[in-house]
Amino acid sequence: MYIPEHFALTTEQAIELLSPVRAGDLVTHGPGGLAATFIPMMYVPGDGFGRLLGHVSKVNPQWKDPGEALFIVNGPDDYIDAAWLSRPEAVSVPTWNYVTVHAHGELIAHPEPEWMLQTVRELSLAQGDDTVTTMPEEAVEILLRSIVGVELRITKLVGKAKMSQNKSPEVISQVIEGLAEAGNAEAADWMREHSLPRAEAKAALVEGIRREAQSGR
């Protein structure tokens, strides 16, 4: 993934987007070429960047593709109207804002019933659902026979937020207002929390340098 420096997420921000459970695209490469499955995976901290745990259907051949894999999770995104990005002195063009995280790692299949049971329980409990814990044992056994556990041991974690951070505070405020009016509160809130403070700090720094330069004349 191409990531300009000003759009890069920190490791902590990337992990936050993965935690505790997020659904995304698990991408692998096997004899048949590239394959992708949209599944929920649970983030578990640990050595290095941690691990992602989940499961796929046993009839899905993707679990037979061990080795290098990629899990892609997307955060808030939306179309950004040109009017939101424009100022009287500078007319802009529309774009698309988005947040995304790519977790690279080694994929390991787990057909062991004990491993799958624990993971399925924890995935459900992380969502406040104890159904798996309270289900009859026979029903759980049937469920486990139909799935295979998967573990992604993360070796590289990169995140990108193209959320107008490189624009002026005035433009960012316009984009936030536009997103809010369009009903995308998630994207508006993200920009209000992250993009706007960053742009305001940059603008203050530039203004301070300008004033210092003027006072030295």
Count CB-CB contacts under 10 A for residue 125: 16
Condensed to tens digits (0 to 9), the pLDDT of residues 56-110 reads: 999 999 999 989 999 999 999 999 999 999 998 889 999 999 999 999 999 999 9
Matching CATH number, 5-162, of 2.40.50.140, 1.10.3720.10, 2.30.110.10, 3.40.50.300:
2.30.110.10
Residues in CB range of 84: below 8 A, 6 or more apart: 171, 174, 175, 177, 178, 179
Count CB-CB contacts under 10 A for residue 110: 19
Alpha-carbon gap, residue 197 to 191, rounded angstroms: 9
Domain boundaries, the chain: 5-162
In sign, the C-alpha dihedral spanning 51, 121, 139, 26 is: negative
Q: Is the pLDDT of residue 217 over 70?
A: no
Condensed to tens digits (0 to 9), the pLDDT of residues 124-163 reads: 999 899 988 899 989 999 999 999 999 999 999 999 999 9
> What is the value of pTM for the model shown?
0.89
Beta strands in the chain (DSSP E): 21-30, 33-44, 51-57, 67-80, 95-110, 147-162
